[in-house]
Amino acid sequence: MTSNTAGGPTRRERMRAETIAEIKASARRQLQEHGPSGISLRAIAREVGVTPAALYRYFDNLDALLIATCCDLYDELIAETRKAMDAFPPDAHLERMKSWIWAFRAWAVGNRREFELMISYPEANSAMSINGVRLEQAPENVDPVTMKSLEHSQLCGREMAAFYRKTENGELPPAGPVEMPEISEGLQDELMDKCSAFIVGEPLPLSWIFTFTSAWVRVFGLVVMEAFGSLPVQDNVDEFYKTQILAMIREFGIDG
């Protein structure tokens, strides 16, 4: 019914996929030119050469189109950072993580408007409150953009976990993470639950989880601030970022 006897996509299906791609391409062009709030359904229709109402054959509404665009962008970001990691051998964990950190920032800076859309998506489009998306839910019920965002962080998180495992095995010299302030049981549980399960992917010692979240917050914070133009430097941002990351790595004491 949805495909012919040969099993390949129908002619109609091919046409449809092509149109969808064209719509998304137009949306992205407008995103780059006019920012997240400058994406107009009517303008897309104009560019694609079609009536505004026709777009509703492909997306339920503008929101759905933005969400789909967000997901595509995450896929692109994930592919890019994965490629950067894979430039190093599988056991060069530290190099791979550093490469990821740099590639993340590079993509975000090279695709500012896109990144803005990705991080400002929840409040802009979701009817849920800002804390409405709760990771405790079954993965199917979490909105797709949040899922993609998790996938993105997992790429680095799992590398960290692999690194930990090797230091535990003795394959690598023991690298103690930072000493940790006292943490209440509630926060401990939440860190273990959320981060261990959703980001790192396997149970890690609390000190490692704490280190990972600390690093995550610093890296992500830097990138977001740069995207929003809130950094205290403007000309030497590349070096500033690198310097901050370097200082962080040294503080964690996991690198010579």
Structure tokens at 244: 């901050």
CA 132 to chain centre: 19
**Does 131 engage in binding with a copy of itself (CB under 8 A)?**
yes
DSSP 236: S
**Does 54 engage in binding with DNA (CB under 7 A)?**
yes
Question: Is 238:244 a contact under the CB 8 Å cutoff?
Answer: no
> Which of these segments, 5-13, 79-87, 111-119, 225-233, binds DNA (CB under 7 A)?
5-13
Structure tokens at 111: 């695709």
**Does 4 engage in binding with DNA (CB under 7 A)?**
yes
Q: How far apart are CA 248 and CA 147, in angstroms?
A: 27
DSSP 10: P
User: To the nearest whole angstrom, how small is the minimum distance from the Cβ of residue 237 to a copy of itself?
Assistant: 9
Which of 88/216 has CB closer to a copy of itself? 216
Is residue 106 classed as helix, strand or coil in its secondary structure? helix
Which one of residues 84, 135, 165, 167 is an interface residue with a copy of itself (CB under 8 A)? Answer: 135
Instruction: Give the bridge partners for 9, in sequence order.
Output: 3
Which one of residues 21, 33, 35, 61 is an interface residue with DNA (CB under 7 A)? Answer: 61
Structure tokens at 9: 């996509």
Residue numbers at the binding site for a copy of itself (CB under 8 A):
35, 37, 112, 116, 119-120, 122-124, 130-131, 133-135, 149, 178, 180-181, 183-184, 186-187, 190-191, 194-195, 199, 213-214, 216-218, 220-222, 224-225, 228-236, 239-240, 243-244, 246-247, 250-251
